[in-house]
Amino acid sequence: MVSIVGRATPQYVADMGILVGWAILSANPAALIIATGGVVAFALAPFAEEPWLEEIYGAPYRTYRKRTPRFFGFPSRQNADYSV
């Protein structure tokens, strides 16, 4: 199965979409400010998690990170090792 949502958990990407949709539907400037802060927080979260994941899982995580885009895109098939 190929996913275009990357290694930043799909929940982060969905939460960003929810916040943007909420800001648009509410048509409230305060909602836009809050949603912007939330989107920034969700966009930065993977950068905080990835060093920890690399420390815990090591080489398999580095391989996964090389072939999987962070947020959106298609997985890379170059030098991909699909073993578990």
Residue 37: its H or E element: helix 29-57
CA distance 73 to 6: 7
Q: What is the pLDDT of residues 34-44, one digit of tens each?
A: 999 999 999 99
Q: What is the pLDDT of residues 57-82, one digit of tens each?
A: 999 888 888 888 777 776 666 555 55
Query: Does the predicted TM-score (pTM) go above 0.85?
Result: no
Place of tokens 């905080």: 48
DSSP letter at 20 equals: H
Residues 6+ apart with CB under 8 A from 68: 6, 7, 75, 76
Structural domain spans, the chain: 10-67
